[in-house]
Structure 1
Amino acid sequence: MSRRVTPALLAGTVLLAGLVGCSADARKNEDRQAPVERPPAATPTPKVPAGKAPQRSFAVGVRQLKLNRDGRALPTTLWYPAAGESGGAARRSATAAEGRFPVVMFSHGLGGRPDDYATLLTRWAAAGFVVAAPTFPHTSSGGDNNVLDVLNQPADVSYALDQVLALDGTAGDSLRGRVDGERVAAAGHSAGGVTTIGLFTASRDKRLDAGVVFAGTALGVGTAFAGASAPQLFVHGELDEVVDYAAGKAAYDKVPWPKAMLSLPRGDHGRTMLKDKAALRVVSDTTVEFLRWSLYGDPAAKKRIATDATRGDIATLDDHL
């Protein structure tokens, strides 16, 4: 990851924090409007049956999808399990590995881009997941930093998911027969965390089976979690200088499903998670086991979550999975 990534992420998310009051006022106005149809209340039944996740580490391939939703350009990076020996950098347009793999939709932070998170996302792909990360038109690096456009991003993610799942049946595509559309999660950092929470609340996508929220808040999308049970893992630095830890914890507390919160006592908004090797290992190992359990239904992975989360006294885990 380049050295300019973190300042870009921080500068963008500081703007997000500065608009909290404005967005809160907007929500108050919305509350006074006529009632709107809301998603069905949350139910306790998970969709993913018990199974076993791959224990091997895969090579990783990477490719780009040129997507566009009604004039909103959404170039999407795909990392996926590839044939060949594991380890090394992701290989452009590599042959996909044999098997059918769950999907994880990842949303970047304000002022960021998918490549900022490549180290983490390639680890997910190496563990047996197809990871799709759209670049959002207004909140990515080089965009106009229109923070209110975050509220349009859940629909962007759902659209991108449509296109990723369609690859499974596309003749001649390298991912034909490799994408498991019955096992899908959403994840995101900062503004992408807001996007991810929105996919389980106001803009509930019924295809999602689990969520991972990094340094996120329910700002603008609310905490009316709805639909079938979808386990959630929140990851937040207690010294977060942009999205206050208490705001993330407040959203986490409202989750009605199996959930856990990985807290980093010395963690900030993103540098610790993305650049500190020891912290990155704890975060990546914990999230991998969470995804193995929630998407593959692997009970052994669930047992490993607490061990990985508390390794080295880097983080603590509030575990209600």
Structure 2
Amino acid sequence: MDRSRRWVSRGPVAVVAGVALGLGLLTSCADDNPSPPPRTAATAATASSAPHGCLPADDPAASVRGGYGVGQTEVTFVDHSRPTDAVPERGLAGRPDRTIPVVVSYPIAPAAGAARDAPAVAGAAPAPGRFPLVVLSHGVTANGTGVATFVAAPFVRQGYVVVSPTFPLSSGPGGTIFDLPNQPADVSFVITSMGTWSTAAGSPLAGHLQADCLAIAGHSLGAATTLAAAYLSCCRDQRVRAVVSLAGVLAPFKGTFADNPPVPLLIVHGDQDETVPLARSADIFTTLRGPRYFVTLRGAGHTTMFLNQAGQTLNQSVTAFLDAYLKGDFTALRALPDDIRRSTIATYQAAD
């Protein structure tokens, strides 16, 4: 199997049917509080009124921009307060808990002579300093291991701890979108658990995670999960400082996106996406309020958005956004519109 697609286990036609139809059904079952109508959005970058970053200014990691290697470890978090439904057609029995394995990828000092894209090193010692936390959620039929392998590494190399959970029912072959209403709470549970685990005696990240310096991100169904965890009235996690939606969609399965908290948002979508149409991200951009940035990748599809020039632009955009809103360095984000225009691979919009 092509490594670039290993973490997506169904073809476009099947995923279109599952994601587009299923999210439509979830939306149609929402409460009677509709999302607000689209608003006209400006196209000029507006990053001048930015807050300071959330890393201590004197922390060794605060001033470092890239060059890290990638360390990796795995841990399983179990939420005993919520059950997991049975899925008889997959042979999955119900459980009294939500069991969520996560892959934790973190910055390490690069080995001498190591290639820039060297693979992750299991159990390596973290680099000096405290690093912001990014929770990166997978799409339907994918899993945290694949996301950690094929998506997370560029952000880790720029100085972020990236946690990739595997959700109980949307992951793997036969994964279902209908567990989406439970996944925003999974994200919040992972955030809480990371704060506890990283400070426990013997944790490999003890003293190296700034857990309250937090962004959440996701691809496809993972983006729908992420948007709900940040903005949907039923599920808003007030700890989130920045949000990244990759080929996402608003799914108001309970509550409303009206009067959403103005948490900064980056949207990235390919204009050749046959799984989740580009119009879904346009809806996100015009519906939500707060600082938001919209990068459209020309010629990129649902998974090819992570490859080649499109992938480089995606990584550059995400890193610039995270550096701005978590580290307080807006240099790259302010330069992004001109960088994108020169590249001709994408278009850019921004609004407050």
Shorter-normalised TM-score: what interval?
0.7 to 0.9
- TM-fit CA distance, 1:53: 4.4
Larger relative contact order (CA 8 Å, sep ≥ 6): 2
- Residues 101, 130 of structure 1: 8 Å contact kept: yes
Secondary structure at the residue paired with 2:134?
strand
Find the counterpart in structure 2 of residue 60 from structure 1. Answer: 70
Counterpart Cα distance in 2 of 1:215 and 1:232: 13
| Contact 1:104–1:184, Cα closer than 8 Å, also in 2 | yes
Separation in structure 1 between the aligned mates of residue 52 and residue 11 of structure 2, nearest angstrom: 34
1:149-164 correspondence to structure 2 within 5 Å: 149-164=179-194
Query: Where is the helix percentage greater, Structure 1 or Structure 2?
Result: 1
Change (3 A) 1:9 1:161: farther
The answer as to 2:285 corresponding to 1:252 is yes
Tell me the distance in 1 between the aligned counterparts of 2:259 and 2:217.
15
Alpha-carbon separation, structure 2, partners of 1:9 and 1:68: 31
The 3 A distance-change label for structure 1 pair 192 and 225 is farther
Distance 1:182 1:304 in 2: 27
Partner of 2:257: 223
Q: Is the 8 A contact 2:217 2:243 kept in 1?
A: yes
- Partner of residue 25, structure 2: 22
Contact 1:262 1:318 survives alignment (8 Å): yes
Residue in structure 2 matched with residue 267 of structure 1 by the alignment? 300
Match for residue 41 of structure 1?
none
Q: Percent identity?
A: 29
Query: Letter of the aligned partner of 1:289 in structure 2?
Result: A
Conserved? CA contact 1:185–1:208, under 8 Å? yes
Contact 2:9 2:172 in 1 (8 A): no
Does residue 183 (structure 1) correspond to residue 188 (structure 2)? The answer is no
Q: Deviations over 1:106-125 (max 9, x none)?
A: 11000111233323311100
Q: 1:75 aligns with which of 83, 94, 101?
A: 101
Q: Which residue of 2 aligns with 1:136?
A: 167
> Aligned with 2:29: secondary structure?
helix
Q: Deviation of residue 170 (structure 1)?
A: 1.2
CA contact (8 A) 2:16 2:274 kept: no
Q: CA shift at 1:84, angstroms?
A: 3.5
- The question of 1:31 aligning with 2:64 is answered no
Contact 1:168 1:179 in 2 (8 A): yes
Query: Structure 1 unaligned runs (5+)?
Result: 33-43
Q: CA deviation at 1:78?
A: 0.7
Q: CA deviation at 1:147?
A: 1.3
Q: 3-state DSSP class of the match of 1:68? A: strand
Residue 317 of structure 1 pairs with residue 348 of structure 2: yes
The answer as to 2:298 corresponding to 1:297 is: no
Asked if 1 retains the 8 angstrom alpha-carbon contact of 2:133 and 2:161, the reply is: yes
How far, CA to CA, are the matches of 2:70 and 2:308 in structure 1? 20
2:206 is the alignment partner of 1:171? no
What SS does the corresponding residue of 1:301 show, helix, strand or coil?
helix
Distance 1:186 1:251, change over 3 A: same
Per-residue deviation, residues 197-243 of structure 1 (Å, max 9, x unmatched): 0012221111100000001111235423533x321000011222121
Shift of 1:133: 0.8
Mapped partners of 1:58, 1:223: distance in 2: 37
After superposition, the CA RMSD in angstroms is 2.4
* Whole-angstrom CA distance in 1 between matches of 2:125 and 2:335: 31
Question: For 1:231-286, what per-residue CA distance to the aligned partner results, in whole angstroms no more than 9, with x for missing partners?
Answer: 1000011222121211221112122111100001312222x212x31111111111
Compute the TM-score of the two structures, normalised by the length of structure 2: 0.80
Structure 2: any 5+ residue segments left out of the alignment? 34-48, 81-96
Number of aligned residues: 305
| Matching residue's letter, 1:207 | R
Question: Residues 246 and 165 of structure 1: is their aligned pair in 2 closer, same or farther, counting only changes over 3 Å?
Answer: same
- Alignment of 1:243 with 2:276, yes or no, is yes
Question: Which one-letter code corresponds to 1:157 in the other structure?
Answer: V
Structure 2 distance, partners of 1:294, 1:169, is 24
Question: What aligned pairs does 1:121-132 form with structure 2 within 5 A after superposition?
Answer: 121-132=152-163
Q: Deviations over 1:42-86 (max 9, x none)?
A: xx9957459654224111101111112231111001110013436
Please give the alpha-carbon distance, in whole angstroms, between the structure 2 residues aligned to 1:47 and 1:8.
42
Structure 2: distance between partners of 1:58 and 1:264: 27
Deviation, structure 1 residue 18: 1.9
Deviations 1:7-38 (A, max 9, x none): 537444530212244223312xx218xxxxxx
Secondary structure of 1:169's partner? coil
Give yes or no for contact 1:12–1:145 (8 Å, CA) kept in 2: no
1:110 correspondence with 2:123: no
- Structure 1: distance between partners of 2:29 and 2:63: 44
**What SS does the aligned partner of 2:10 have?**
helix
Deviation at 1:126, TM superposition (A): 0.7
SS at match of 1:290: helix
